[in-house]
A and B are shown apart, each in its own frame.
Chain A
Amino acid sequence: MRSSVSVTGLVKRYDKVTAVGGLALEVFEGECFGLLGPNGAGKTTTIEIIVGLLAPTSGEVRVLGERWGENDPLLRSRIGVALQETRFADRLTVREVVTLFRSFYPKGRDPGEVILEVGLEEKAEAWTVRLSGGQRRRLALACALVGDPELLVLDEPTTGLDPQARLRMGETIRSYRDRGRTVLVSTHYMDEAQRLCDRVAVIDRGKRIAMGTPSSLIESLGGDLVVEFVLSGGEVSEEDLREVDGVRGVRRENGAFHVTAGEGHVTVPALLDRLRDRGATPGRMMIRHATLEDVYVNLTGRHLRDE
């Protein structure tokens, strides 16, 4: 597989703060790659370096086989970018903005077609100042798509969108990838990364703490089920539960137990037996699939939106 983006040893330091501390990534052609992590993890810095808006302190960045600083206009014409900050000239219409961006690219798509694809056709003649936050993000996506790029880079494209708009944005991104193009997207929504991305890198405090397909990362927990419960009476130690047959991990958070398990039909009865032995009574109990959120918490001991 050919690599679309390859980053090694990436460091970005501002005065005293290290935003990115030795990051390595590889995005392959034709995949949708997610950069996953909480706010402030260094995702935006990483993305701005990859698209050539920021210079790294050190490290090697190759995009579509090229380095920044050699033939930037040519390289830029092959990349579509939607940044987190998406403000446009207030008094231009959606169609005018997309047409303006189209004019920057030597080749590209029909602005009307792209506006239709991102679902802004009803707002095509509206001034951008009258758009909602979600519509503005879709406009940013349209501007990124109109040059018909080989690589699409999106920084938090769904932050602040309602669930329906997020789904719609996801569809557009996926259909773009289905045409054999490459997507690099950052998000702090674990469920979205899981749905959308072929592979993800989990970023925390400027470092990569995990990388792989969403399912392989979840499997790394040892099981893909999580049993969650609180105790309404009695007490039990985490050690007691860890010994139970089929239990892969135990975490206690605000009084609630999160037990990771491989096979539910074996582990759940055994867990209940153990609780009864210890004289503890479970209160609410539920069984759910493990998510990337569990992976993150498992790796860092923190939740994504703790910050």
Chain B
Amino acid sequence: MNRALLQLVVARVREILRQPEAVFWTFLFPVLMSVALGVAFRGERPDPASVVVVEGPGASLLEAALLPDNGVKVRRAGREAAEAGLRTGKAAILVVPGDPLTYRFDPTRPESHLARLRVDAALQRAAGRVDPVPVREEPVTEPGSRYIDFLVPGLLGMNLMGGGLWGIGWTIVEMRIRKLLKLQLATPMRRGDFLLSHALVRVLFVPLEVVPLLLLSRLLFDVRVAGSYGALALVSLLGAVSFAGLGTLIASRARSTGAISGLINLCSLPMFVLSGVFFSTSRFPEALQPWIRVLPLTALNDALRGLMVDGAVLSALGAPLLILAAWGAASFLVALRVFRWT
């Protein structure tokens, strides 16, 4: 590394560490937020579906038949209150006594659908149905297969993206607004060194973003890394560099903080939704899949999930790693060409 690049990195690191509030917002806050999300979506046993037996002749018998099933929560209510419960989502299904028995439910609500199956099975069995095939249930909650195991790599990816876009985009635009750049431009400082120093600083701070989150999710939710830690470090660094490039690119022309925060949101919000942070990308239509797959955050999330959940080796992650590297290199090179220095 040449001396100017080293000094630029050192100066930037000093500046960051001398702003405790920046350290909090950039590094600690995303981790805390991720933990909060983890707590909210830790995906323990689903709440039992709420079943309402509508008052009427035979209602108490129906209720008694459903009570032993702890997969549902049964109560009785008048017709009107029951309908209101169904409308507002407080009831998954209404059981209306009569002949025939009526199930009222919205089939597009997954929990209603589930409740219908459970209720029907319980009522039929209570009425004397005998299942011809004996079955035994074996509940499994292995680490690795839970929602939280899916979520943590997504949050890691999201944090690495946020760090690159905000950490670099915002900083560069602020330097431009305050005309800090101009004085350095009159020196023989190489422009590539300046841009590169920001990416290097990001790399240095990656451990601060990754390690606390991994540690906390291990302690709180027993989330494990199936693959190697070395590979995880490498993928995180590549992700950081890739988003550093993107952050530099979107900061290359912006002249106000309003413009840069708009651009950052424009980049990051679609990826929050499309790139599989909170739910799998497979929920989107087939036609969109090729586009979703080449997004940098999708690539990063895929690689991180491959490592943490499936225990993949690096060589199996060629495609996402290549996509990340391409995004990083391309945006850095374009940024260098179109960058507005003054």
Contact = CB atoms under 8 A, between A and B. Distances in A.
Contacts of A73: 188, 190
B182 A76 contact: no
B110 to A, nearest CB: 53
Nearest to A97: B11
Contacts of A163: none
A105 B182 contact: no
A144 B160 CA distance: 38
Main secondary structure of the interface of A (DSSP, over half): loop
Interface in B179-229: 179-180, 182-190
Contact of B186 (A51, A74, A106, A127): A51
Contacts of B283: none
Interface stretch (B13-21, B61-69, B265-273): B13-21
Contact of A143 (B4, B183, B190): B183
A52 B342 CA distance: 12
A303 to B, nearest CB: 30
Contacts of B6: 103
B4 to A, nearest CB: 5
Interface in A132-149: 140, 143, 147
Given A53-B342, A89-B180, A81 B186 contact: yes
A52 B186 contact: yes
Interface in A232-264: none
B7 interface: yes
B136 interface: no
Given A53-B342, A104-B188, A96 B14 contact: yes
A51 B8 CA distance: 22
A299 interface: no
A86 B183 CA distance: 7
A101 interface: yes
B143 to A, nearest CB: 43
B331 to A, nearest CB: 24
A87 interface: yes
Interface in B101-141: none
A103 B15 contact: no
A99 interface: yes
A165 interface: no
A100 interface: yes
B185 A53 contact: yes
Interface string A76-95: 11010101011111111000
Contact of A100 (B11, B186, B190): B11
Interface in A103-126: 103-106
Interface string A54-92: 100000000000000000011011010101011111111
Contacts of B3: 103
A101 B186 contact: no
B178 interface: yes
Interface in A35-57: 51-54
Contacts of A92: 11, 14-15
Contacts of A53: 182, 185-186, 342
Given A103-B3, A103-B6, A83 B11 contact: no
A73 to B, nearest CB: 5
Contacts of B7: 99-100, 103
B187 A88 contact: no
Given A92-B11, A92-B15, A96-B14, A101 B187 contact: yes
B182 A83 contact: yes
Contacts of B187: 76-77, 81, 101, 104-105, 143, 147
A83 B186 contact: yes
A9 B187 CA distance: 26
Contacts of A77: 187-188
B186 A91 contact: no
A50 to B, nearest CB: 11
B78 to A, nearest CB: 68
Given A83-B182, A87-B178, A96-B11, A104 B4 contact: yes
Interface of B: 3-4, 6-8, 11, 14-15, 18-19, 178-180, 182-190, 342
Given A85-B183, A105-B188, 14 more contacts: A52-B186, A73-B188, A73-B190, A74-B188, A76-B187, A89-B15, A91-B14, A92-B14, A96-B11, A100-B8, A101-B184, A104-B4, A104-B188, A147-B187
